[in-house]
């Protein structure tokens, strides 16, 4: 089993080689400049690599890019093998990264919270305190409840 530093170096190398090969080496029009490699993870035994990617475009572009990556998997693995120089070239698995969808969900939730905060601010703009402005007791103030307790 390889150490984590070696797996991390191999993952970084795979990410760079695959991105460069997609940009310059693969002539598939389904891939082109629409695909961005976001992350790569390699198992501890350096046998399998998962490549995360995003696609700029709609669902049809994502589906065609996934098909293009599957068809170019052999070419990309060969390029990784030449660049890595390891005894065994890891198998490549391409996974669409959910980062853009997650970011959009978070942005939608933040917008909802901002509008809710604005509503609360608008409702409370003319509100008054239910009691005194400063509800805390201060040392040395006369307190009626202390006098009542002492009288009993």
Which DSSP string corresponds to 63-131?
Answer: HHHHHHHHHTHHHHHHHHHHHH--SSPPEEEEEE--HHHHHHHHHHHHHHHHHHHHHHHHHTTT---SS
| pLDDT computed for residue 108 by the predictor | 93
End-to-end CA distance of the chain: 80
pTM beyond 0.95: no
| pLDDT computed for residue 4 by the predictor | 85
- Residue 15: is its pLDDT beyond 90? yes
| pLDDT computed for residue 147 by the predictor | 57
| pLDDT computed for residue 91 by the predictor | 92
| pLDDT computed for residue 112 by the predictor | 94
Report the share of the chain in percent with pLDDT over 90. 28
Q: pLDDT per residue over 43-77, tens digit each?
A: 988 899 999 998 887 888 888 888 888 888 888 99
Specify the residue for token string 């239910």.
130
Decide: 126 and 86 in contact? Cβ < 8 Å: no
Provide the b/e sequence for 98-121 (b: ≥16 CB within 10 Å): eeeeeeeeeeeeeeeeeeeeeeee
Q: pLDDT per residue over 98-108, tens digit each?
A: 777 788 899 99
* Mean local confidence (pLDDT), 91-112: 88
| pLDDT computed for residue 109 by the predictor | 94
CA dihedral 146, 149, 151, 152 (to 10 degrees): 180
């Amino acid at each position: 089993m390889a150490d984590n530093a070696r797996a991390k170096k191999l993952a970084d190398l795979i990410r760079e080689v695959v991105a460069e090969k997609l940009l310059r080496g693969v002539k598939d029009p389904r891939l082109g400049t629409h695909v961005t490699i976001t992350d790569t993870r390699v198992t501890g035994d350096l046998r399998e690599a998962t490549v995360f990617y995003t696609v700029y475009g709609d669902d049809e572009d994502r589906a065609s890019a996934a098909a293009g990556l599957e068809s170019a998997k052999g070419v990309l693995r060969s390029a990784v093998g030449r660049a890595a120089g390891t005894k065994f070239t890891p198998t490549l698995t391409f996974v669409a990264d959910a980062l853009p969808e997650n970011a959009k969900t978070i942005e939608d939730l933040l917008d909802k919270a901002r509008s809710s905060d604005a509503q609360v601010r608008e409702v409370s703009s003319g509100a008054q305190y239910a009691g005194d402005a400063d509800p805390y007791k201060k040392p040395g103030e006369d307190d009626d409840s202390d006098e009542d307790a002492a009288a009993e």
